[in-house]
Every structure is written in C-alpha cells, then in structure tokens.
Amino acid sequence: MTATNHQWRKAKNVLMQTIACVCAVLVILPLLLVFFHLVSQGASSINWAFFVELPKPVGELGGGMANAIAGTFLLITLASLVGVPVGVLGGVFLSEYSHHRLNWWIRFTADVINGVPSIIWGMVVYALIVVPMKGFSTLAGGVVLGLIMIPLIMRTTEEVLQLVPNGYREAALALGVSQWRMITQIVVRTAMKGIVTGVLLAVARIAGETAPLLFTAFGNAYWTRHLTEPIAALPLQIFNYAISPYDDWHRQAWAGALVLILLVSTINIGVRVLTRDRFSQRSA
C-alpha cells in the first residue's frame, strides 16, 4: 500500500515536471516562429534601396522605407526630449525625497498609468495637440511617445537609485555637501548605468508603438520637412502595408518588421549584456 502510494507520488512528480517543461516550450514557441518567419520572409526584401528610397506608389515595384526609418528615429528623439527629463527627475524625487504617503500614491499612479492602453494616449494627444494645431504632426507623435515613456522611466530610475548604498549619501552629506549636489554628483552618477538602461528599455518599448501614432504622427509617403507636418514611422508603415491587398507591399511589411525587430532586440540584448553583473548578483 505504502509502496504503491510512494510510486504514485513519484509518477505524479515526474508528470507535473514534464507538463511544466512543455508549457515553457510552448511559451517560447511563438517567439521562435515569429523570428523564423520574419527572417525567411523579410530578409529577401531587404536591400540597399529599402534603406535609402521613398515608398513607391501602388503598382510600381521596389522602393524603400527610408522616410519611415528616419521618422522612427526622429520620433524617438522627440519623445526622449519629453520623457527622459520628466521621468528621470521624477524617479530621483521618488527615491531621494521621502514623503512616505505621497510617494506611495505616485508609485501607484505611475504603475496604473503604465497599464493604460497606448491607443488612449493617442486620443488624448489628438485632442490636446492635433485638434488645436489643425493637423497631424511630427510634434504630436513625439509628445505621445514621450508621455508613454514617463512612467516607465520614472519607475526604473527609482529602482536603480534605491540600489545605491546609503553610506555614499551619508558620506557626502557628512562632508557638508548640499543635498542637491549630493544627489546629482554622487547618487545619480553612481547609478548612471542603470538609469541609461531604463531609458534604453523605454526607447525599445516606444520604438514599436503603433496605436498611438495612428492619429498623431499619421504617416507620410514623403519626407517630412517641418515638425508640424505628418511623419512616417516604421510601425505605422508596417501596419498600413500589412492590411493592404498588394503582394509587393506585404513583402515590404515583412522587411520593415525585420528591421524593427532587429532594432528592438539589439537594444534589449545590448542592455542585458551591459548590465549582466547586476542581474547575476540578484539571481544568486
């Protein structure tokens, strides 16, 4: 009786371990499939023209996404101008100046805002910038991505600042340094790598955002000359091409997606390699 019970328990143990292992494989599977198809479908359409030419009108083969690639970089720059200062300073405040109750609420609100669907931000910026300026614009696209970055950067900045040993702060204050200089020259400087990591991860996140750009940056088949004009972006172009009925555009969409995912994954993997020592410490 006890022997069979023991065997049953052992069998169940093996069974559950196998199930968990299979589940892990299933979770990884979509990633592998997506990468496989991106490479097999997209790689053949990537050539020099893809990076330097404008999109061709329907019916003409060839053309590229030069303006969309440049547009994505410009939008990221604008967004960082909005999101990085606010996010980093907010994170510094959260970590260094303690108002216990207030900080709890700020953290809570930032986490909740993080979960607001990005398309909602698009609507807000539409009402806030696009309508008063009477047109879709690069500016609106940059602002909406910047707003999305704020809570992300704020929370990561706070977390890395918390890792700075308190002894550093006390040592600086004991030397008679003012609190502000202590923060900028000791604390922030020590945690610089972590802050940059947080910013890069936020950039990787917004680089692929499409929904908020649909009615702010809007997309553009040509070069954008002014911040008040609509601008193309890689994710927008991928979306428009993907839902179009033309085979040549589908090919371009795959190529664009491959470029975009390489950009995003490079940032992600790069960041992880740079901060590896910190991660292994934590998991030890």
Partner 1 sequence: MAMALSVFVLIVLVGFELAHGSTLAMRTFGWRFLISSDWDPVNEKFGAVPFIFGTLVSSAIGLLIAVPLSIATAVYLTELAPLWLRQPLTIFIELLAAVPSVILGLWGIFVMVPWLRGHLFPVLQQGLGFIPLFQGPIFGPSVLAGGIIVAIMILPIITSVSREILRSVPGLQREAAFALGATRWEVTRIAVLSYARKGLFGAVILGLGRALGETMAVTMVIGNSPQMVKSLFAPGYTLASVVANEFSEATTDTYVSALFEIGLVLLGVTVLVNALAQLLLKTFAGPAGGSPR
- What gap in Å lies between CA 70 and CA 78, rounded to an integer? 12
Q: Where is 122: in which H helix or E strand?
A: helix 118-125
Q: Which two tokens stand for residue 93?
A: 């405040």
In angstroms, give the least distance from the CB of 65 to partner 1: 14
Judged by CB under 8 A, the stretch of 51-59, 117-125, 165-173, 182-190 that binds partner 1 is: 117-125
Q: State how far Cα 52 lies from the chain centre.
A: 25
Does position 239 interact with partner 1 (CB under 8 A)? The reply is: yes
Judged by beta carbon, residue 176 or residue 283, the one nearer partner 1 is: 283
Residue 114 contacts partner 1 per CB under 8 A: yes
Q: Is 268 in the site for partner 1 (CB under 8 A)?
A: yes
Closer to partner 1 by CB, 112 or 171: give it. 112
Among the listed ranges 52-60, 93-101, 173-181, 183-191, the one in contact with partner 1 (CB under 8 A) is 93-101
Window 53-72: residues binding partner 1 (CB under 8 A): none
Binding of residue 39 to partner 1 (CB under 8 A) = no
Q: How far is the CB of 28 from partner 1 (least distance, A)?
A: 5
CA distances from 80 to 58, 126, 148, 272 (A): 34, 19, 10, 21
Three-class secondary structure of residue 80 per DSSP: helix
Does residue number 119 form part of the binding site for partner 1 (CB under 8 A)?
yes
- Is 218 a binding residue for partner 1 by CB under 8 A? The answer is yes
Give the footprint of partner 1 on residues 154-183 (CB under 8 A). Answer: 154-155, 159, 162
H helix or E strand, kind and range, residue 168:
helix 166-174
| By the rule CB under 8 A, 28 interacts with partner 1 | yes
Neighbours of 56 (CB within 10 A): 16
CB 278, min distance to partner 1, A: 13
Of the pair 2, 176, the CB lying nearest partner 1 is at 2
Place of tokens 């990633």: 31
Tell me how far apart the alpha carbons of residues 150 and 121 are, in angstroms, rounded to a whole number: 12
User: From CA 208, how far away is CA 75, in angstroms rounded?
Assistant: 11
For the chain, what is the largest distance between any 2 Cα atoms, rounded to a whole number of angstroms?
82
Footprint (CB under 8 A) of partner 1, residues 130-159: 147, 150-151, 154-155, 159
